[in-house]
Amino acid sequence: DIQMTQSPSSLSASVGDTVTITCRASQGITTNLAWYLQKPGTAPERLIYAASSLQSGVPSRFSGSVSGTEFTLTISSLQPEDFATYYCLQYDSYPHSFGQGTRLQL
Amino acid sequence: QVQLVQSGSEVKKPGSSVKVSCKASGGTFSTYAFNWVRQAPGQALEWMGDILPKFAMEHYKQKFQGRLKITTDESSKTVYMDLSSLRSEDTAVYYCAMTSYFSDFWGQGTLVTVSS
C-alpha cells in the first residue's frame, strides 16, 4: 500500500501569510494526488486535483506542485476562512490513501 | 447541481451491522466513482472503498475485507455502505463522495456510534 507522509502536522500563521504543506508518497504516483480542506463539522472539499489543477470555484491563492514523489500545497495571502485542516489524497492505486492532515491555525 | 444526501445517525451494538445510504441528485450516476471515507473522532480521514457503477467494480481497503460491502441502486441513484461485525473502533462519521476527474461531491456525513 502507498503511504502518504504529510507535514507539518500543525502550522501557525497569520492572515496575509503564505504557507506550504507537503505530502511525500512512499512510491511513485505520477500526478494522481488531490488536496482537500476540511472545516470542523463539515465534509472535506477538494481544492486541487491532478497535483496542480485548481478545482472549479476555488480561489487562485491555492496552488499545487509536484517534484518526484513530493507534493506541495501553497496558500498565498491567507484569508480567515483558510484556517482549517488540510489533507492530501493519492488516488493512483488501490487502496487510495490520505495523509495524516495539517491543522492550520491562527 | 449535484447533491448527495446521506441517511441519519445510527447507534449500534458491537457485533451488529450498519447500512448507510447516500442518494445522489443531479449528474450522470454511472459515470462517477462512489467512495466511502470515514473519520473517527479527532482523527484523520480514512479511505474505505469505492464502487464504479460503469465498470461494475468495487475496491476495498484490506482492513475492511470481508465486512464491508458497497452497492448501488441506479434506479434510485443511491449508494449503500454496509459494514458488519461492528466494534467500538468503528465509531466515526462516514462520508460518501462522488468523484470524477473534474468533479468531487460529498455527502453531509453520517455518525455511526458503536456502543454496548
pLDDT digits (tens, 9 = 90+) for A11-40: 999 999 999 999 999 999 999 999 999 999
A10 interface with B at CB cutoff 8 Å: no
Q: Say how many Å lie between the first and final Cα of chain B, rounded.
A: 41
Q: Which of A3, A89, A102 to mutate to test the interface with B (most CBs of B within 10 A)?
A: A89
Interchain CB distance below 8 Å, A1 and B59: no
Chain B residues touching A55 at Cβ < 8 A: 104
Chain A residues touching B96 at Cβ < 8 A: none
Chain B residues touching A89 at Cβ < 8 A: 45, 47
A101 interface with B at CB cutoff 8 Å: yes
- Cell output for A9: 502536522
- Is residue A63 a contact partner of residue A11, using CB atoms and an 8 Å limit? no
Rounded Cα–Cα distance for residues B3 and A4 (Å): 29
Measured between CA atoms, how close is A53 to chain B, in angstroms?
9
A100 interface with B at CB cutoff 8 Å: yes
The three-class DSSP label of residue A50 is: coil
- Cell output for B65: 475485507
Task: Give the whole-number percent of chain A exceeding pLDDT 70.
Answer: 100
In tens digits, chain B (116 residues) has pLDDT values of: 899 999 999 999 999 999 999 999 988 888 899 999 999 999 999 999 999 988 889 999 999 989 999 999 999 999 999 999 999 999 999 999 999 999 999 999 999 999 99
Q: Which residues in B52-85 are b (16+ Cβ under 10 Å) and which e?
A: ebeeeebbbbeebeeebbbebeeeebbbbbebee
Chain A residues touching B106 at Cβ < 8 A: 43-45
- Is residue B5 a contact partner of residue B77, using CB atoms and an 8 Å limit? no
Could you identify the residue written with the cell 450522470?
A: B28
- Cell output for B84: 458488519
Rounded Cα–Cα distance for residues A76 and A61 (Å): 5
Interchain CB distance below 8 Å, A43 and B35: no
Measured between CA atoms, how close is B105 to chain A, in angstroms?
8
Sequence-distant (≥ 6) Cβ neighbours of residue B38 within 8 angstroms: B45, B46, B48, B92, B93, B94, B95
